Amino acid sequence: MPHSSEEQVLRRETIRQLLQRGPAGTQQALVDELNERGLVATQSSVSRDLKELGAIKTTHGYELPGGGAASDDELQGVAGFLRGVTPAGPNLLVIRTAIGAAQRVALALDRSRWPEMVGNIGGDDTVFVATDSAASQKILLAKIERARS
């Protein structure tokens, strides 16, 4: 089963990358693109992936919700302080930072205005981030991990 989970993660990351380039007109267009890249995908798996990624259907097709690079820039400035991110239940992320950096990271998160984040609390070397759903938590976790890399 781990092999299937790895394929799912890779498929979702590929879909995210495709949607960052622009909207996908249909789910079938995504299935075709994934299959061309050697990833196993069906319309139902892509539908589940889009839901997990928080994609929305617009008049242009399937897109990732707003935010984009401008919001990502907020966390880029403090990425060097990030030490680790761990989910704690379906609605909480625990972010470990360098000693004394948690409040700077919390402020950068606030300024990012990411819609997945309900709020956060920054201590000395730990930030707790609340999300409104497990799906939002996964999206936010991916955004923070991207900022770290």
Determine the structural domain holding residue 122 and report its residue range: 68-148
Alpha-carbon distances, residue 41 vs 45, 57, 95, 145 (angstroms): 6, 19, 33, 25
Q: What is the pLDDT of residue 53?
A: 85
74 and 133 both lie in a single domain = yes
Is the same domain home to 50 and 83? no
pLDDT of residue 72: 62
Pair 83, 98: CB distance under 8 Å: yes
Tokens 């299935």 — which residue?
31
Q: Residue 128 region, left (φ>0) first, then alpha (ψ -120 to 50), else beta?
A: beta
Show the low-confidence residues of the chain (pLDDT under 50).
Answer: 1-2, 67-70
Q: What number of H helices and E strands is found in the chain?
A: 6, 6
| 144 alpha carbon, distance to own chain's centre | 7
Residue 87 sits in the same domain as residue 28: no
Domain end (from 13, 39, 63): 63
- Tell me, what's the pLDDT at 2? 40
pLDDT of residue 67: 44
pLDDT digits (tens, 9 = 90+) for 104-141: 999 889 888 888 899 999 999 999 999 999 988 988 99
Tally of domains in the chain: 2
Hey, what are 140's tokens? 């936010």
Tokens of 29: 């267009």
Max distance between CA atoms of the chain, in angstroms, equals: 48
Same domain for 43 and 80, yes or no, is no
Do 89 and 125 belong together in one domain?
A: yes
Q: What CATH number is given to the structural domain containing 34?
A: 1.10.10.10
Q: Verify that 54 and 111 share a domain, yes or no.
A: no
**Domain limit, last residue, from 24, 48, 63:** 63
Whether 77 and 131 share a structural domain: yes
Pair 96, 132 in one domain: yes
Kindly state whether residues 74 and 106 are assigned to the same domain. yes
Last residue within a domain, chosen from 43, 63, 83: 63
Same domain, yes or no: 59 and 72:
no
The CATH number given to whatever domain includes residue 121 is: 3.30.1360.40
Q: How far apart are CA 88 and CA 120, in angstroms?
A: 14
Collapsing DSSP to helix, strand or coil, 83 comes out as strand
Confidence (pLDDT) at 70 = 45
pTM of the predicted model as reported, rounded to 2 decimal places: 0.55
Say if residue 21 is in the same domain as residue 38: yes
Position of tokens 């897109």? 63
Terminal-residue alpha carbon distance, the chain: 28
Torsion sign, CA atoms 3, 4, 6, 11: positive
Residues 111 and 138 in one domain: yes
